[in-house]
Structure formats: structure tokens, C-alpha cells
Amino acid sequence: MIVPSGSGNLIRNTTYKVVLPFYLYAGIAYLAATVVLLFSTPVFTGHYFHPQIAAITHIMALGWGTMIILGAGHQLVPVLIEGKLFSNTLAYLSFVTAGAGIPLLVYSFYIFNMGWLAQTGAILINAAVLSFLVNIWVSTARSKADSVHAVFVFTATLWLFITTLIGVFLVYNFTRNILPENSLYYLSLHAHIGIVGWFLLLVIGVASRLIPMFLISKYSHPKTLWIIYYLINAGLLAFIIIFFYGFSPALYLMPVAAIAAALVLFARYCYRAYKQRIRKQTDEQVKISLLAVLMMLLPILFLVVVITLLLVATNTRLVLAYGFSVFFGWLTAIVLGMTFKTLPFIVWNKVYHDKAGLGKTPNPKDLFSSRLFTVMGITYLAGFGLFIAGILLANALLLRTAALLLLLTAIFYNKNVIKVLTHKPQPL
Amino acid sequence: MNLITNDPEKVATALAALKNVYDPEIGLNVVDLGLIYEIDFFDNRNELFVSMTLTTQFCPMGESIRDNVIQTLKQTFPGYSVEVDVTFYPPWSQENISEEGLKFLNG
């Protein structure tokens, strides 16, 4: 029986004016990160705590990963929670404050002066995250739907807020000694809450909704997603407890095992969605996103080796490879793929919405160059693989060549993003 | 599910026209995708009623697809006003896709 909706079933999307600046900013940040990377390759043969590496990490984590997630998040939250975004004003506020704060913090790391500039940057970033958190919180609370995906997104945002709050304390601790230990001591805590609590939880929450949707797959298994959710959060909480109580490093294998189990379950979830897909031809953007799911296992592998060796001594090369495989590996791979699954639709809606029914419009996928996307995928995979090899072998030539390939990847990515953003309506 | 209508003759014309309305992401038309649930004609007051769904609630392309359905039917039946109700009860499922649609998706 068909039940009439009455009215209000179609809620307007979040306006493109809110979302597009985040995409543009993230693209520029990725380009900036690869430029700095190209001129910083010698430091990747030394210790991981280095001003240039800290600067690159924060461009990648905040300017690239977080900005694009915030942008896409404002667009996708209505899909995930089956409700409307609470406030466009808060969304603008999060863009402006993060947009201003990130360069201040990154520059401070680069010159390693953690004075007022870094402190202002860190506070602005916190203001941005708080704006996003409130926006998601109220949007979710107002939604009638009880969605596991929305819970992932909300919890991830909470962890992001904790990460950036710790970040503020660490920045102040450089100059004022407000914490019992020096800031370097808390680095792994700050980094892992960000990587696991924010990026991993959010990516799984969103991807578990979008991948079956894009594949037109029959597969849906909320129970698996809930198990993944509890495994990740339990793993992260265990990590924090072990960190503060100073237990043996061997115990860190426990949270790693929980996260690894979550990743294996998520990989299985994606595989089942893929096997039960109705749309047999999978496009390149979804392929690279599925590849990113497998790439999630690489940092875990490095982490297991790092912890095992930690019982003897810290291996800086493996720690560097681990960090690189997180930010330039799976996080970048999924962003590269998902950008061209989301951005063309936002722009298509902007350009062709009022032309509905007036003639044949191009498809959203026609708004970017698929050839350039493929070339970008090749330079990316080659650059990423060679850079990891360069770190492990401490080989300058490999690092330089790989950095150049990654810079090319960023150029191709931005070229395609600009192509989408500047798309003019075709005559119908 | 089977399409409901009060005018089997006119509905064939409507469906033929709606085969030109595509879900931009999937690249398949709304008829073969099984998004159209009901089309009724009220000739005495020149009105046309459509009950349809979307592949997912809060589909980002939803408004655009609905508007495209309205415009296409207005052009096909000049002088008729078109009312479209987007419902999610029953929700869309893959079983709604026609044989032709499945062939298209299977590449």
C-alpha cells in the first residue's frame, strides 16, 4: 500500500554556498602539503618529531582531511540522519574560523614558534570544531531517524573536539608548562585520538552508507556496523587508559587488535556490499574508495611492528611510515575518490536544478575529466608506494621522486576540482 | 511493484515521456528504476497525480528528479496541472528495477 507523504518529505539540501568553500580550501591545502613535502624530503630520513613534518601532518590532517570532511559532512549529514542541517550560519562560522586558524598553526609549526600565533590558530580551530559539533548535535537530536551512521558521525566529531582541545593544551604547554610532562610526551595520545576517533570512525560511518548506495547494493548489516563502532571506541578508550597508567608497551597490542578486528569487519562489510551490488560496472571513484578500505590495513601492520619493536627500541622509520600511510595513504585515497563522487553532484544541482525537464542535461560524472582522474590515480599510487619505500630505505632519490609524483597528483586533483567548480551550463 | 493508474491508455504516454527522466547518479530512467508508483488522471479538472519515490530518503538529487518529472509531464499533457507526491512508504528497493533496468545496470 502506498502511503501519501503529505508534505515535507523532500527537504532542501544544504546550500552549495556552505559546502564548496571547504572543497576549494582542502584542494589548496593538499597542494600546499605536497609542495612542502617536496622541499622537506631530507627530514624524512631523520626523527619523526620535526617542525616540517609537524607542519605537513597538520596541513594534511586539518587543511586536507578535516576541511573536506567538514564540507562533505554539511552536505551528507542530512542524508545520514534523514533530516535537515540545523544551521548554515554555524557551517559558515566553522569554515571561517578553521580557514583562518589552520595556516596560523601550520606556519607556527614550520618555524617552530609556539607563541601567540600558534595559540590563536589552535583556538580558532577549536571554535570551528565546536561550531560543527553543535551543528551535528542539534541536527541529529532533531532527526527522527535512528541511524547507526549518524551515531558514528556524532561520536567522531566528539573525538575531534577532544583531539583539538588536547592540541590547544599542547600548544600552550610549549611555552607555559601547564601539563605534568612536555608536549612531545602526549603526541601519540593527541595523534591517535585524531586518527582513530575522528578520521577512522567518521570514514567508516560515512563510507558504510555511501559505498552500498553508490554500488546499488542489497547489502545492509547494521549489527556489523555496531560491532565495528564498539570495537573502535573500546580500542581507543583502552589505548587512553594504557597511556595514562603507563602500563607495558606490549599492552598496546590490545587496542591495536580491537581496531584491526574492526577494520577486517569493515573490509568484509564492503566486500559483501560489492558482491551483492546490482550495478556491475563500478566507476573509478568508487574503486579508489574501495582500495582505500584495504589501505587502512597498512597503517595497522606498521603499528603492530612498531609496538613489537617498541619493546626493544623506537624505530623512527617505521613510525614515519605509519604516519605517512595514514595521512597520505588511506585518508587521501578515500578523499580523492569521494571528492569526485560528491562534488560533481553539488555543482550539478547548483547549475542544473532550475533546468529540470527543459532538455537533456549532462550527467554529474561529465563535469570532471575521467582521464585526468585515472592519471591522478596512477601518479598517486606510484608516489605513495615509492615514498613509503623511500622512508623505509632512507633513500633520498626515492623520496624526491615520490614527492614529485604526489605533487603532480595534487595538481591533477586541483585541476579537476576547478573544472567542476567552474562548470558552465551547457545549452539544452 | 506494479504501477497503479486509473487510465491505462494515457499512462503509457506518460511512462514513455518519463523514460527521458534520469536519476543523474545511476544514469537510469525513473520508470525502469521503479521510482513511479502511481499515475492518475483527473480529466474533469485537468489534473494529473503522481506518487513516486526516490532510491534513498533525502537523496541529494531528489528535488531535481521530482521537478524533472513535473516538467516532463506538463510538456506531455499541456494544460494539465501536475501534482507529485514523494513517498517512502513503501520504500524503494532493488526489486523495483525493471528487466530492462537490470540489463542496463549489469552493463
Which chain A residues are closer than 8 Å to B6 by Cβ?
none
Q: Kindly report the CATH class assigned to B4-105.
A: alpha beta
- Three cell numbers, residue A227: 560491532
3-state SS class at B49: strand
The per-type count for chain A, helices as H runs and strands as E runs, is: 16, 0
Structure confidence by residue, pLDDT tens digits, A270-291? 999 999 888 887 888 888 888 8
Please tell me which residue of chain B has the smallest CA distance to A11: B58
ipTM of the complex: 0.79
- Three cell numbers, residue B1: 511493484
Q: Which of B37, B57, B61 is nearest residue A345 as measured by Cβ atoms?
A: B61
Domain range enclosing A104: 16-351+361-421
Structure confidence by residue, pLDDT tens digits, A109-136? 999 999 999 999 999 999 999 999 999 9
Res. A98 pLDDT band, cuts 50 70 90? very high
What domain count does chain A have?
Answer: 1
How high is the pLDDT of residue B6? 84
Res. A9 pLDDT band, cuts 50 70 90? low
CATH number, domain at A302?
1.20.210.10
CA distance A5 to chain B (A): 5
**Secondary structure letter of residue A11 according to DSSP:** P
Does A9 contact B66 at a Cβ distance shorter than 8 Å? Answer: no
CA within 13 Å, CB half, A394: 10
Q: Which of A79, A280, A360 is nearest residue B60 as measured by Cβ atoms?
A: A79
How high is the pLDDT of residue A141? 87
Residue ranges covered by each domain of chain B: 4-105
Q: Of A176, A66, A76, whose CA–CA distance to A118 is shortest?
A: A176
Whether the Cβ atoms of residue A185 and residue A169 lie closer than 8 Å to each other: no
- Pairing of β B81-86 and β B47-52: parallel
Does A357 contact B51 at a Cβ distance shorter than 8 Å? Answer: no
CA distance B45 to chain A (A): 21
Does A352 contact B64 at a Cβ distance shorter than 8 Å? Answer: yes
Chain A contacts to B (CB-CB under 8 A):
1-5, 9-13, 75, 78-79, 82-83, 213-214, 216, 218, 278-281, 345-346, 348-349, 352-353, 356-358, 360-361, 363-364
- Three cell numbers, residue B61: 538529487
Pick the more confident residue, A11 or A79. A79
Cα-only R_g, chain B: 13
Asked if residue A428 belongs to a domain, the reply is no
- In the block, cell 549529514 appears at A77
Q: Is the pLDDT of residue A6 over 80?
A: no
Structure confidence by residue, pLDDT tens digits, A124-174? 999 999 999 999 999 988 877 778 988 999 999 999 999 999 999 999 999
Chain B contacts to A (CB-CB under 8 A):
4, 20-22, 24-27, 37-38, 51, 55-72, 74-75, 85-90, 94, 97, 102, 105-107
Q: Is the pLDDT of residue A189 over 60?
A: yes
Amino acid identity at A276: Q
Which chain B residues are closer than 8 Å to A9 by Cβ?
57, 86-88
Asked if residue A331 belongs to a domain, the reply is yes
Note every long-range contact of B77-80, with CB atoms under 8 Å and residues 24 or more positions apart, other chains counting: B77/B10, B77/B13, B77/B14, B77/B48, B79/B46, B80/B41, B80/B46, B80/B47, B80/B48
Asked if residue A5 belongs to a domain, the reply is no
Does B60 contact A83 at a Cβ distance shorter than 8 Å? Answer: no
Q: Of A268, A138, A160, A147, whose CA–CA distance to A211 is shortest?
A: A268
Structure confidence by residue, pLDDT tens digits, A290-335? 888 888 888 887 777 777 766 556 678 888 998 999 999 989 999 9
Asked if residue A318 belongs to a domain, the reply is yes
Does A363 contact B63 at a Cβ distance shorter than 8 Å? Answer: no
pTM of the model as a whole? 0.90
What are the Cα distances from residue A60, in Å, to A94, A176, A306, A366?
18, 27, 22, 28
Whether the Cβ atoms of residue B80 and residue B98 lie closer than 8 Å to each other: no
Asked if the peptide bond before residue B90 counts as cis, ω within 30 degrees of 0, the response is yes
Res. A81 pLDDT band, cuts 50 70 90? confident
Which chain B residues are closer than 8 Å to A357 by Cβ?
21, 67-72, 74-75
